[in-house]
């Protein structure tokens, strides 16, 4: 059986939250050496996380030789669904340290945690304030855009007001998001308004 078939079957298992079936497929994947496939590994992480089996989900993740943004987001979203806030924020920072840029779904998971806890606040469990501040300082506009994408009608324009200068990395990402989502995004930073059109072009001409 091909890796793609195992990956598809595991996705069904995750949707049904059938962990027993997922374990059987896990054994087969080990037997045939399919765990080296990033799609299979990611689907297996998803199966365990949706069954709230965080230990095995994390073990599979840690053992994967290759991970992509979907792999990271799958693990982060699994922790977020179960209010494991510290793990969400720690992984959110770690994935970037290891060279993987978050997508809109990753940002939405991190934003949900920050909203639930309250920035700078405390829960049943303490969240490191410095980590929260780092997330917001580095990615506040992307977090705001992620929240806007999931809370406003498709195609509607977004206005983001930022009290810091937009960084070059975020500027590139916002152009990409505007084009993919086919939305006009306006970001007001300390220097100017940036009008990102739905064709992925900014009014500043990439000079600000």
User: What was the pLDDT predicted at 120?
Assistant: 43
Looking up tokens 């780092």, which residue turns up? Answer: 134
Q: Where are the domains of the chain?
A: 3-154, 155-208
Q: CA separation (Å) from 169 to 21, 138, 206?
A: 42, 10, 11
CA angle, residues 193, 197, 198, in degrees to nearest 5? 150
User: What was the pLDDT predicted at 123?
Assistant: 41
> What is the rounded CA–CA span in Å between residue 115 and residue 170?
21
pTM of the predicted model, to two decimals?
0.59
- Write out the CATH class of domain 3-154: mainly alpha
Q: What is the pLDDT along the chain (208 residues), one digit of tens a residue?
A: 566 666 676 666 666 666 677 677 777 777 777 778 898 889 889 888 888 889 999 999 999 999 999 999 999 999 988 888 889 888 988 998 899 988 878 877 777 776 665 544 444 645 455 555 555 555 667 777 877 877 788 888 999 888 778 878 778 878 888 887 888 999 998 888 999 999 989 999 988 7
Contacts of 150 (CB under 8 A, 6+ apart): 104, 108
The β-bridge relationship of strands 158-161 and 193-196 is unpaired
């Amino acid at each position: 059986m091909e890796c793609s078939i195992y990956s598809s079957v595991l996705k069904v298992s995750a949707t049904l939250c059938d962990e027993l079936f997922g374990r059987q497929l896990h054994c087969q994947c080990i037997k045939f050496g399919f765990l080296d496939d990033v799609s299979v590994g990611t689907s297996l992480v998803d199966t365990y996380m949706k069954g709230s089996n965080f230990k095995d989900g994390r073990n599979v993740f840690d053992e994967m030789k290759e991970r992509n943004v979907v792999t990271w987001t799958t693990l982060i979203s699994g922790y977020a669904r179960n209010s494991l806030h510290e793990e969400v924020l720690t992984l959110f920072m770690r994935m970037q340290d290891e060279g993987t840029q978050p997508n809109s779904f990753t940002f939405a998971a991190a934003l949900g945690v920050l909203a639930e806890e309250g920035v700078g606040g405390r829960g049943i469990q303490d969240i490191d304030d410095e980590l929260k501040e780092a997330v917001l300082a580095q990615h506040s506009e992307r977090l705001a855009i992620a929240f806007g994408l999931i809370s406003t009608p498709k195609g509607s324009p977004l206005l983001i007001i930022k009290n810091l200068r937009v960084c070059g990395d975020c500027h590139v990402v916002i152009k990409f998001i505007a084009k993919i989502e086919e939305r006009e995004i306006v970001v007001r930073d300390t220097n100017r308004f940036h009008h990102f059109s739905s064709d992925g072009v900014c009014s500043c001409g990439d000079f600000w």
